Every structure is written in structure tokens, then in C-alpha cells.
Amino acid sequence: MRLKDKVAVVTGAARGIGLAIAKGFSQEGAHVVLADTEAETGKAAAGELDNALFVETDIGYVDQVNNLTNETMKNFGKIDICVNNAGILRVADILDYTEEDFDDVIRTNLKGAFLLSQATAREMVKNESGGSIINMSSVNAKVSIPNAVAYNVSKGGINQLTTGMAVALAQRNVRVNAIGPGTIMTDMLRENLMVNEEVRKTILSRTPLGRAGDVEEIASIAIFLASDESSYITGQCIYADGGRLGLNYVVPVVEADDEDNDEDE
């Protein structure tokens, strides 16, 4: 088991990519703290895992981030891994995008990742074995959805947050990396593909591998970045996009590329 007895915090873990990561960590021997705003779903998910705990959390607020960190320390005594997966999406024409929507997305997707990274890094630095922080970026850090400006900005910011914190924490034995998914087959996307042939065609046309990725494929990258197998990797973003960035072809569509929804995950 690559993560035996490690303690991991995963946000946005009630479903989708976050849940797949939590499951993967648990299968590799980690104790996992699942964080999400969806309390019932999150509690049910944690109940299906070994050595797991759910803490209802909106990561955009520092008091809730501190509570999440404190609950993790109280129950497991350390933090080895942090996965900042929670995120939201707000869609509107650029001329109609509201200040409130922009602030909500940045608060959750970017500020929340900073707050939890900082809080967990403090505990990792106290731990002689250090730790690993994994941020959820997106291909939309590089290419843009025309009607999701705040989402694009937040993911670009995640890349800079990853690089900056990686350099700042390198001498303290804490590695910081990111994963940049392309189109991933979440339940939401699966439902869209079943009812919308145009969405299916768009996804296939912009993805050289000709399919959407599976949540387990993103989880496998997170396991790698959390484990000693990636001990010489920090400040990097691994794009799991089926070749999309290499193709450099974008069709304006409403849906986001990775697992982000209207509420914190």
C-alpha cells in the first residue's frame, strides 16, 4: 500500500473526482477526511470507506478551514496529504457577469485552495516526514470557456499558487503539485451525453483520444503525487486531457471540463 497510515484531507469529496480520490487513497491504506458542503452525501460516502471521517466545510471561509484542520488533527494526529478539489462554476456572458458570481468562484476555487494549503502545510511542517499538497487545476488554466471567465481565472491562479507554494515550501519538505483534467466522465457529464448528441460530438472532436477520462484516472494521478513515487516532483501540473491541449482546438460550450458544479464539492 503506497499510502499506508498516511492522513489525507480531500475537499469536494462527496462525489465525482473528489470521491474517487478519497476512495483511491483509502484503498492505498490512508486515513481520509472528506470535506464538502453536501453533508448527507458526504457522510454517506465517508461511511463506505475504512478509517474515514466527514467534515462539512465551505473552504472559502477561514473559520471552516481551521475547523476542518482541527478536526483532522483531533482524530488522526497529523496531516500528510491535502487535495484541494472543491470548486464551483458560474456561467454568463462576459458583459453580464456579476461581481457576486466572480467573487464566489474566486473565493472557493482559489482563495479556498490557498487557505487550506496554508493550514495543512503548517501541520505538515511540524511533521518530520513533510507532506504533499495537490491542487485541482484544469485545461481551462490554459484555454478558456468564453462564458466562464472567473472559472478560467481561478484555474490559472491555481497554477501560480502551485508554483509559488512549491518553491516556498521546498526547504520544509512539503511538495505542491496540481492536476489539470480535461473532460472527465462524471455523473453530470454522463447525463449530458445521454441526452445531448451535440455535446458528445464536441467532446470527441476536441479530444484526440476520442473519449472522456474516468474519475479513477484522475485519482491514480493523485495517488502518485501523494506517494513517495513522486518524491522529486514539485511545482508541476500534470494535464490529464486526452491530448486536448496538444490539439489546441476549442469549441465554445457551456460545460466545464473537470468536476465542478454549482456548490462546493
Q: Active-site residue numbers?
A: 151
- Residue at grid coordinates 475504512: 50
Cell numbers linked to 18: 473528489
With beta carbons less than 8 A apart as the criterion, state whether 67 and 120 touch: no
- Of 47, 147, 135, 52, nearest to 86 by C-alpha is 135
Question: Any idea what the Cα angle at residue 179 is, between residues 40 and 133, rounded to 5°?
Answer: 75
Quick count: other Cβ atoms within 10 Å of Cβ 58?
19
One-letter amino acid at 231 equals S
Cα dihedral 211, 236, 123, 88 in deg (nearest 10): -40
The DSSP call for residue 9 is: E
For residue 139, give every residue at least 6 positions away whose Cβ sits within 8 Å of its Cβ, in sequence order, or none.
180, 181, 182, 239, 241, 244, 245, 257
H-helix or E-strand spanning residue 66: helix 62-76
Sign of CA dihedral 132, 138, 140, 143: positive
